[in-house]
Chains A and B, each alone.
Chain A
């Protein structure tokens, strides 16, 4: 299972980085979202998966999954969501102001546009 997850994480990072390296702002945002998914999965995988029950203390259960990575991921998901939302709005505003959503066209000064 962990091997599968590791492969998946590698794949996710590949896709995320690939998208981040594109020119379009929206693709970059999608890329960051994928990378943050990958990071969440990394946390989960390193913590160990499927080693016990869900960490809810019901009667009769003894072996539980590690609750700490789950708490961390929960926090990370919410923060990732906030950042993504902010990114989107920034992209929207940048498009409004600059008239382009290509990152290679938005530079500090207008002179050295390639």
Chain B
């Protein structure tokens, strides 16, 4: 559809395997979330029309994002998701935390969005088209360009901020202030995957020529994976655990995408397998994380708290919710027979393979990668177990639960139930989904893949190294989870006051505000003299720089006219008068000296053979002096509060500078005549014949250039009106009397 065809920005939709996977996730989970929210939100207390409007905007934006082929349109939808997410996080806008979280999410994602816009602008400039497909097709031609790297960094920044990658993950835990359906939808299943989508979409552009693309994404993903998992251990709020686990899982997918993007450069089967693992886990994560959020919402809704220290023994009261949580957490931990197991196996396998082959640059790092991935998986297992066993088993704590009759409402349980069924079915029959959804998605990321390629997934695939790693994960994880209460306080205590990225954000905000306030109050300090000094300094510097760099000074004495004795006398007199004005302390002296200066200038005009201005100058100067004297009656003595004139103050230096610059400019400018005046001879020749007057100046004023004179009279009139109204109008007189 045409939108701005002149700029090549059109609304182009393109549906391929990758888009289809996302579209199904967005619409499917969107429907379930909508259903869930009907039962979750109160019809009486909440302003539901806003909620569903924002949700619909978000869904539209998200669909537009994954479907559009035009980069500018993609960016448009990208920012639409940011904005609707901002609105949804701040849905309970009367809470301070909600507003904080919403603002934080907006700042970070919009920062990334703008970076991405920059990257896309570069790409479209290089490729000469806004179409992603065209960029992919032409990418190899301009991959040597230095801007290409820049575009790569920008696009990565966009994706990392949106997908809450390290260190931009800090907004996601604070976005948990949103209503739970929103957290389930936006912050686990869809919006945070927009960054993954972007990476997957842009992989054919960058990966074939630049290994740094793969390596950076892989490292960032692994760091996020570990950091998110580690932080999830410290949390006590169920939603916070889920938030950090989302960060961690997104990191996992990101690292797999990075590893898999090697497939576009090197023909090696296991890179493709890594891609498959990424896309499969993307799908799996959306299912079980959405379900888990909804279950937490049910617990919150029914007990009134999400704090794991206050919950316990819910298994007997909420058996359905417990079942759902069981499947969800075990899928997240990567335990058979649920779908998380398969993708986690593939994840481990990919990194085992990476360490076993001779990858040119990664050979030494790959063992570290594998180790980090394994540790993170252990931690994932631990917090998944905590997530299930803490609220659902143990002793019931009735005194802490406001509602006695806790049960699982069926309407709310329906949506997570559907998702959990998906988790089980896609775990038991992985090929059912894989070859319909995942394989086409792989094909659209790795465009050069053999069209007949098909995925073969199975729960059981023999004793591979990955299986042993999984067994080790379960073993170590179980030990850790059982002894959880013993070491958790230590961790919490040890790492509570250590460096946190939130501090960076908060302090950065604080210092930015402080800095801007400081600089504003320093520069705009309300002191007129300060502004004037800056103004004059700028004048001096700009003129000096301009004059000196362009070599336009001309001090030749050729054109000078001769100097009379009279001139010298006038000069000396004026100089004395000026000096006296500067030094005078009494106001009367100053004004009389100013009058003297005016008359001297009138004499100068006479000497310069300009009788009309001499006349005007005399008259105006007389009236001015009278005006000054009139004003004196109402003004206080001058110099009462005036600082002493110190001979070498900054004031003097600035004024000397201005004077010197003016001298320089004036003296060299009449020397540099670019062309002789055409107008003056014309005026002189035609003053009598055309204007009918012999005084050329007067003819110029009223005839040749009468408009100037007209508006000059207007200026006089306006000044007169202003003076009149200033003297007569006293609007705030009443207030003054009132104050007194």
Does B623 contact A81, Cβ atoms closer than 8 Å? Answer: yes
Convert A84-114 into 0s and 1s, putting 1 for each residue whose CB lies closer than 8 angstroms to a CB of B: 1110111111011000011110011000100
Secondary structure dominating the interface of B = helix
Q: Does B660 contact A (CB under 8 A)?
A: yes
- A10 near B631 with CB under 8 A, answer no
A window 28-65: CB within 8 A of B: 30, 33-34, 37-38, 40-42, 44-58, 64-65
- Report how far A1 CA is from B217 CA in the complex, Å: 75
| Interface contact A14-B655, CB-CB below 8 Å | yes
Specify the chain B residue showing the minimal Cβ separation from A65: B609
B715 close to A82 (CB less than 8 A): yes
What's the least CB distance linking A34 to chain B, in Å? 7
**Chain A residues whose C-beta falls within 8 Å of the C-beta of B608 in the assembled complex:** 44, 49-50, 65
Q: At the interface, yes or no: B581 with Cβ under 8 Å from chain A?
A: yes
A67–B702 Cα distance when bound, in Å, is 13
- A96 cross-chain contacts in B, Cβ below 8 A: 634
Contacts of A15 in B (CB 8 A): 578-579, 581-582, 655, 659
Question: Using a CB-CB cutoff of 8 Å, which residues 217-233 of chain B contact chain A?
Answer: none
From known contacts A24-B638, A74-B616, A83-B719, infer whether A2 and B560 are also in contact, taking CB-CB under 8 Å. yes
Instruction: Point out the residues of chain B lying under 8 angstroms from A68, CB to CB.
Output: 677, 679-680, 683, 700
Whether B574 and A108, one on each chain, are in contact in the complex, defined by CB atoms closer than 8 angstroms, is: no
Q: Is the interface of A mostly helix, strand, loop or mixed?
A: helix
**Contacting residues, chain B, for A88 (C-beta < 8 A):** 627-628, 631
Residue contact B611 to A54, C-beta cutoff 8 Å: yes
Report the Cα distance A79→B624, complex, angstroms. 12
CB contacts (< 8 Å) of B726 on chain A: these are 89-90, 93
The chain B residue sitting closest to A78, CB to CB, is B712
Task: Please tell me the number of chain B residues within 8 Å of chain A, measured between CB atoms.
Answer: 96
Chain A residues, CB < 8 A from B659: 10-15, 17
Q: Are B662 and A26 in contact (CB under 8 A)?
A: no
Q: Are A11 and B528 in contact (CB under 8 A)?
A: no
Among candidates A1, A3, A64, residue contacting B696 with C-beta atoms closer than 8 Å = A64
Query: Is B567 a contact of A101 with CB atoms below 8 Å?
Result: no
Shortest CB-to-CB span from B189 to chain A, Å, is 52
Partner of A21, one of B574, B607, B641, B651: B651
Measured between alpha carbons, how far is A42 from B112 in the docked complex, in Å? 55
A residues contacting the other copy or chain, number (CB 8 A): 85
Contact (Cβ within 8 A) A82 B716: yes
Kindly provide the distance from the CB of A25 to the nearest chain B CB, expressed in whole angstroms.
8
What is the minimal beta-carbon distance from B493 to any residue of chain A, in angstroms? Answer: 46
Q: How far is the CB of B327 from chain A (nearest CB, A)?
A: 64
Q: Are A54 and B727 in contact, CB atoms less than 8 angstroms apart?
A: no
A106–B33 Cα distance when bound, in Å, is: 61
Q: Tell yes or no: B658 within 8 A of A by CB.
A: yes
Expressed in whole angstroms, the minimum distance between the Cβ of A5 and any Cβ of chain B is 7
User: A57 near B687 (CB under 8 angstroms)?
Assistant: yes
B560 touches A67 (CB 8 A): no
Neighbouring B residues of A103 by C-beta, 8 Å: 528-529
Cβ of A67 and Cβ of B697 under 8 Å apart?
yes
Q: Which residues of chain A are within 8 angstroms of B363 by Cβ–Cβ distance?
A: none
Most buried by A among B568, B658, B679: B658
Q: Give Cα A49 to B659, complex, Å.
A: 21
Select one of A42, A66, A81 contacting B624, CB under 8 A.
Answer: A81
Say whether, besides A8-B571, A88-B628, A46 and B641 are in contact (CB < 8 Å): no
Chain A residue, CB-CB nearest to B533: A21
Q: Which residue of B lies closest to A28 (CB)?
A: B528
A-B contact pairs, 12 of them (CB 8 A): A7-B571, A10-B662, A15-B579, A15-B581, A24-B638, A65-B610, A67-B697, A75-B701, A78-B620, A78-B716, A81-B624, A95-B634
Residues of chain B at the chain A interface (Cβ within 8 Å)? 526-529, 532-533, 536, 557, 559-564, 567-568, 571, 574-575, 578-579, 581-582, 587, 590-591, 594, 597-598, 601, 604-605, 607-613, 616-617, 620, 623-624, 627-628, 631, 634-636, 638-639, 641-643, 651-652, 654-656, 658-660, 662-664, 666-667, 669-670, 677, 679-680, 683-684, 687-688, 694-697, 700-701, 705, 708-709, 712, 715-716, 718-720, 722-723, 726-727
